Amino acid sequence: MLSSLPRKGCLSGSRPAINPGMTKPSGGLADRPFRRPDLSRRLNRARVLRSIRSHAPVSRPDLERLTGLAAGTVQTIVDELLAEGLLEAARAPAAGVTGRGRPRLLLQLNSRAALVAGVGLFLPDRIQFEIVDLSGSRVAVLERSDPLPREGPLLAKAIVQGLEALARSAGLQLTDLSGIGIGIPALVDSQAGAVHWPPGDIEDAYPLADVVERQLGVSVDLDNMGNMMARAEYWFAQSREDDFAVVLVGGGVGMGLYANGQLVTGVSGMAGELGHMKTGIDAPVRCACGAWDCLTAHVGLYRLARQALGRLGDDDAWPFDVRDAGDQVLALASEGDAHVTAVLDRAGALLGTAIANVANLVGPARIVVIFETGAFVEWIGPPLIRSFEAQTLPPVRARTSLIVRAGLNSLSQGAAAFALERIYAGPDVKLA
Ligand SMILES: [Zn+2]
């Protein structure tokens, strides 16, 4: 096993020393505005706003019941939100009001109090943009199908130009936005806004969030696809558990994990890297991180296709037409190719094991597995489910639902939700 090989890129060796006197990596928390005011205050405020978003119009006593917070806490938060203009009196009649005394003030979100944008980057040639209001309703959308630039400054430029076009189409200025979220298929330090092991020739630890933020003058947050899809699930899915995981299977494997209503980020902002969970089994192709036994090295389409198509000698995953390779794999599977179907079966079994480990470890109410190339669900889904069923502890399995589905269309929605999180959490962003 060659897991001791150096990783692609090196944090200290490939980045310019922006702050040579600091021991912390530049581009980290020390370089960005402090965005974590008192945690309990942030959580309570976000809880109140989410309850209003889901149940409006609501009264203060409704909010006490919905959030479990004390009357004084609700009062303070509501007063703060009214003063900021995020809440307004509901226009709906005050249902349930008795004939005596003053009618209770019913509250709702002032949806137009803030607008945010989400950007979803898909390899190799698709970018989604959207603008949503404070309640998360879509105001404008744009999708471009140009190849993603392979250099950091050019990628930032493509994002800026797309956002400018989107704002124009909606009759808005970019300065009308209170925040922007960007989702990218890479290892992302969301706290620093930096991209590790990015696609193409982008330098390691490229500070994409800061570069876009400087050009637009709007607060920018960056995260990977797994976390953005988990946010989309938390904010926009019908069932809203506080404990769930979203697993993405595409060129690689990603995951976003919520526990107690909070995305698990870890101290690095890089938690949830299921794709680099070690299987203990060497894969025929090395993972982008340098190890040989990562889950992604077995089941990520960039590598799975090489194994299935007998192209193991093609060492570098880029450039590589993953869609064409995926189509070839699926065609051979449909023809009954024994080698290809065995590769897909094994991929499903390994994914099922990994997801069973997630269930046994953190006990989510729901695990959603999303295949970027939907046709693979037919081949990898059944062995995945069998493996999951066999390896999840029965009492845990009884409380965890597993959903396997195709399609990855709400990345920009999750990215916009990231920007909304900032507003819901605290008054450290400019409002429109
Ligand atoms: Zn890896």
Give me ligand 1 centre to Cα 81, in Å: 44
301 pLDDT tier (thresholds 50, 70, 90): confident
Q: In sequence order, what E strands does 342-400 have?
A: 366-371
Summarize pLDDT for 259-297 with one digit per residue, the tens.
988 899 888 788 999 999 999 999 888 888 889 999 999
Give me ligand 1 centre to Cα 290, in Å: 6
Summarize pLDDT for 226-238 with one digit per residue, the tens.
999 999 999 988 7
Give me ligand 1 centre to Cα 300, in Å: 10
Structure-block tokens of residue 311: 């192209």
Give me ligand 1 centre to Cα 249, in Å: 14
Angle (nearest 5°) at CA 257 between 253 and 262: 150
Summarize pLDDT for 323-373 with one digit per residue, the tens.
788 899 999 999 999 999 999 999 999 999 999 999 999 999 999 999 988
May I ask the CATH class of domain 238-409?
Answer: alpha beta
Give me ligand 1 centre to Cα 291, in Å: 5
Give me ligand 1 centre to Cα 294, in Å: 5
The residue among 277, 303, 289 whose CA lies nearest residue 187 is: 289
Give me ligand 1 centre to Cα 368, in Å: 22
The sign of the torsion formed by the CA atoms of 50, 52, 55, 56 equals negative
Summarize pLDDT for 379-396 with one digit per residue, the tens.
999 999 999 999 999 999
Give me ligand 1 centre to Cα 305, in Å: 17
Q: What distances in angstroms separate CA 264 from CA 229, 236, 245, one per listed residue?
A: 13, 18, 10
CB 227 within 8 A of CB 184: no
Q: What percent of the chain has pLDDT over 90?
A: 61
pLDDT, mean over the chain: 84
Give me ligand 1 centre to Cα 286, in Å: 8
Give me ligand 1 centre to Cα 399, in Å: 30
What pLDDT was estimated at residue 379? 95
**Confidence check: pLDDT of 100 > 80:** no
Give me ligand 1 centre to Cα 230, in Å: 21
Summarize pLDDT for 172-193 with one digit per residue, the tens.
999 999 999 999 988 898 888 9
Give me ligand 1 centre to Cα 287, in Å: 5
| 401 three-state secondary structure | strand
Question: Yes or no: is domain 39-109 CATH 3.40.50.1370?
Answer: no
| 79 three-state secondary structure | helix
Give me ligand 1 centre to Cα 253, in Å: 10
Give me ligand 1 centre to Cα 187, in Å: 10
State the chain's maximal CA–CA distance in angstroms: 81
Q: Where in the chain is the domain with CATH 1.10.10.10?
A: 39-109
Write the CB contacts of 334 (distance below 8 Å, at least 6 apart in sequence).
none
Q: Where in the chain is the domain with CATH 3.30.420.40?
A: 238-409
Summarize pLDDT for 26-65 with one digit per residue, the tens.
444 444 444 455 778 888 999 999 999 989 999 999 999 9
CB 134 within 8 A of CB 85: no
